[in-house]
Amino acid sequence: MLQEYPLPMDIRTEQIMVQQVVSGNTNEFGAIVDAHSPRVIRLAWRMVGSREDAEEIAQEAFLRLYRALPEMRGECTLSTWLYQAVSRLAIDFLRREQLRRKIFWFRNRDEAYDPVEQVADPAASPRELLLASERRKRLRSALQQLSPRQRAVFVLRHDEGVPLKEIAAILGMKEGTVKVHLHRAVATLGKELADLGVRQ
Amino acid sequence: MTKHERCEIDEQELLLYHYRELDEQEQGRITSHLEACARCRRKIDEFAATLSAAAPDEMEWSGADQRRFCARIDERINRRRQPAGLWIGGVAAAMLMVALLLPWRSDIPEQLSTSPQPLKMMAELEIFEHLDFLQAIDLLEILDLLDDLEPIG
């Protein structure tokens, strides 16, 4: 799975490293984390929108992987396993967040300071910076209108470029359901971002 | 799914076409259709505009971030591995102490020391501890239901 995308390491190397971790060499697990973490954290960040929460989710995914390694029989690559774990953890996280918002009517995440948002492109003009900042805000707010599953499907397909068949395997859904989620996600984003899209 | 008035191609198919998720034959059929159908061409342009506005940002992730993240995982794994032996040793020592000291405590009423009542109370307390968790599950189920009801308003 995920063969279309450059895997952080070849499958044979990965298998050897897994064997070494299982036989007690934790340094090898450090090497696995090092190779996979940039992609895993980026995926979590795109799904939940906050860097702090993304790091928590990624950490939890790696700890689960560590516990699961002795039971793994090579059914899938570590990349697929991690994508699956992060996607499911992110969906649970988004559900809890949505629930909290529905119950307590609270929007602290919307206004939360995210250092990544403050990073300015030194080559951009003030107008470009303003437009980029507005686009990010609008996009973040639009993504919050999606259900957790719609958001996960959209991020995996649109941002990560994972084919729908693989998304179905990652999220444990039927391919038809994934297509419906993707269509609804794009329709919602279309309504929310209509004027931004026209301006592009 | 919204069917267009004058053609059989629905929006979902057009979106799959945009993402090149249709098989070769279907992809070709829609390409030919687009030459003749202005409405579908407009829809494809709308998708392209929306999706370009939704282009993902790149997250800043430095070498220092990477080292800090890896160190934290390493620390959590080691924390998980090391104290296991200490915990088991500690619990075993505590149980041994209780077993050794209890017979000397003549002031403990016989009924209390032998009755299963405290154990029962402990079990009930544990149930209370899990109530929050059970409520959260209920709420998640409600949320699922809300999600499912979303399409019908």
Q: Given an 8 Å threshold on Cβ–Cβ distance, is B47 in contact with A186?
A: yes
Q: What ipTM does the predicted assembly reach?
A: 0.77
Q: A182 and B15: CB-CB below 8 Å?
A: yes
Residue of A37, A46, A62 lying closest to B66 (CB–CB): A37
Distance of alpha carbon A61 from alpha carbon A55, whole angstroms: 10
Identify the weakest region by mean pLDDT among A49-63, A128-142, B74-88.
B74-88
Q: Which of A42, A55, A186 sits opposite B69 (nearest CB)?
A: A55
Residue A92 main-chain phi, psi, to 5 deg? -60, -45
Backbone phi, then psi, for A124, in 5-degree steps?
Answer: -85, 150
Quote the CA–CA distance of B101 and B103 in Å, as a whole number: 6
Q: What is the DSSP letter of A125?
A: -
pLDDT tens-place string over residues A65-112? 999 988 887 778 898 899 999 999 999 999 998 888 777 765 555 444
**Candidates A63, A98, A164; nearest CB to B21:** A164
Q: What is the pLDDT of residues B53-90, one digit of tens each?
A: 888 878 888 899 999 999 999 888 887 666 555 666 77
For residue B68, how many other CB atoms are within 10 A of its CB?
11
- Would the pLDDT of B51 be above 60? yes
Provide DSSP, chain B: --B-SS-S-BHHHHHHHHTT-S-HHHHHHHHHHHHH-HHHHHHHHHHHHHHHHTPPPPPP--HHHHHHHHHHHHHHHHHHHTHHHHHHHHHHHHHHHHHHHGGG-TTS-HHHHH-SHHHHHHHHHHHHHTHHHHHHHHHHHHHHHHHHHGGG-
> Which residues in chain A (11-40) have CB-CB distances under 8 A to chain B?
26, 29-30, 33-34, 37-38
pLDDT at B104: 56
Determine the Cα–Cα distance for residues A136 and A143; give it in Å rounded to an integer. 10
- Among A161, A164, A142, A140, which residue's Cα sits nearest to residue B12? A164
Cα torsion B109, B114, B115, B117: sign: positive
**pLDDT digits over B12-39, tens only?**
999 999 999 999 999 999 999 999 999 9
